[in-house]
């Protein structure tokens, strides 16, 4: 496809009807070809129904990057970080970019938009859990102000070796008035 198809992108809010198949392709590519997801086997199409239902139920954005033809090239979202009431201001985010569009700024644009939306949603901390060997993702997070918060060593095993998960966090100035309930 080439980098030309990755130019002139627009950010959109994804929906299940129009984007589930493209998002599933991105998930499955990450499963089969990377350590971005610690799954072994590609996910079935039915997975997307539950995934989108959970995003809607918890008001989690699913932001897509599309080219002029409307092709989804990348997406980003967030979900709960430890689903306890006291963690309500903390979210864990994910960004996935189509292989032929990597290193062209799509992940940065999506992550910047997630940060804007997290502030607007009165979130306080964004957490990125990154395979410790993914130097590109680590560099992107550091460039956007995320700080290293620690590594969990050897918590996964894939492609014949142990995987380490590095945690990066961005602390926001929101919410103005946090509360316990």
For 81-100, write each residue's pLDDT tens digit: 998 999 999 999 999 999 99
Give the phi and the psi of residue 88 in degrees, each rounded to 5: -65, -20
For 111-165, write each residue's pLDDT tens digit: 999 999 999 999 999 999 999 999 999 999 999 999 999 999 999 999 999 999 9
Pick the CATH number of 3-171 from 3.20.20.100, 3.30.930.10, 3.40.630.30, 2.60.40.10: 3.40.630.30
For 108-117, write each residue's pLDDT tens digit: 999 999 999 9
Q: Which helix (H) or strand (E) holds 5?
A: none
pTM for the predicted model, two decimal places: 0.94
Domain boundaries, the chain: 3-171
For 54-72, write each residue's pLDDT tens digit: 999 999 999 999 999 999 9
Residue with tokens 């964004």: 126
CB 75 within 8 A of CB 110: yes
Quote the longest CA-to-CA distance of the chain.
50
In sequence order, what are the beta bridge partners of 163? 156
């Amino acid at each position: 496809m080439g980098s030309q198809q990755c130019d002139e992108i627009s950010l959109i809010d994804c929906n299940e009807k129009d984007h589930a198949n493209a998002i599933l392709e991105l998930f499955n590519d990450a499963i089969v070809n990377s350590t971005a997801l610690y799954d072994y086997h590609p996910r079935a199409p039915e997975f997307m129904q539950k995934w989108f239902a959970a995003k809607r139920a918890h008001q989690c954005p699913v932001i897509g990057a599309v080219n002029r033809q409307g092709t989804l090239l990348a997406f980003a979202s967030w979900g709960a970080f430890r689903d306890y009431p006291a963690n309500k201001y903390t979210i864990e985010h994910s960004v996935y970019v189509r292989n032929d569009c990597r290193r062209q700024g799509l992940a940065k644009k999506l992550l910047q938009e997630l940060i804007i939306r997290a502030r607007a949603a009165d979130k306080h901390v964004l957490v990125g859990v990154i395979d410790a060997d993914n130097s590109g993702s680590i560099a992107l997070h550091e460039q956007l102000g995320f700080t290293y918060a620690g590594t969990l060593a050897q918590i996964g095993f894939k492609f014949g070796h142990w995987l380490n998960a590095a945690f990066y966090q961005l602390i926001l100035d929101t919410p103005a008035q946090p509360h316990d309930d």
